[in-house]
């Protein structure tokens, strides 16, 4: 990530009752939804909302999603979700997530999503050439190795 950019605060999410399962914990499928909410939050805070990006003709489908569950999240518990862009080349992207309890910082889950970029006709696109604003939003915040 470029040093002159302010950090984007983690996405804060309070677990809803309808997201729980019979065991009283958040159903595993909701974490993937939370990852999507985190991506939307990230783009809003980076100054290029996803709705604007779509109007400009760029979409970011998910190729794969994975989540490893560490500690249960329960109804009304608040979590903070950090996002890091770990791979970005203007054609595809990998994002890593860490879900932590707000109260004590316990890691609740980790995850990863992989994406590629398409235009409004669902044709693969290299955003550096066709959509430089999109390229800059992601490339400027890619984590350095």
Sequence-ordered list of residues with C-beta below 8 angstroms from that of 33, at least 6 positions apart, any chain: none
Question: In angstroms, rounded to a whole number, what is the distance separating the alpha carbons of residues 24 and 17?
Answer: 9
Sequence-ordered list of residues with C-beta below 8 angstroms from that of 49, at least 6 positions apart, any chain: 40, 43
Bridge partners of 92, per DSSP, are 116
Residue 109, both tokens: 């889950």
Contact 38, 44 (CB under 8 A): no
Which amino acids are annotated catalytic?
21
Helix (H) or strand (E) holding 97, with range, is strand 92-101
What are the φ and ψ backbone dihedral angles of 143, each rounded to 5 degrees? -70, 135
């Amino acid at each position: 990530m470029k040093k002159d950019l302010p950090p984007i605060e983690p996405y804060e999410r309070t677990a809803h009752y309808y997201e729980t399962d019979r065991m009283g914990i958040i159903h595993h499928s909701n974490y993937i939804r939370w990852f999507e909410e985190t991506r939307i939050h990230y783009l809003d805070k980076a100054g290029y909302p996803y709705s604007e990006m779509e109007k400009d003709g760029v979409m970011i489908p998910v190729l794969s999603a994975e989540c490893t569950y560490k500690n249960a999240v329960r109804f009304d518990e608040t979590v903070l979700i950090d996002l890091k862009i770990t791979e970005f080349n203007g054609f595809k992207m990998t994002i890593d997530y860490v879900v932590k309890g707000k109260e004590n910082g316990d890691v609740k889950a980790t995850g990863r999503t992989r994406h590629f970029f398409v235009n409004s006709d669902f044709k693969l696109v290299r955003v550096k050439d066709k959509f430089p604003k999109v390229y800059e939003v992601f490339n400027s915040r890619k984590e350095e190795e």
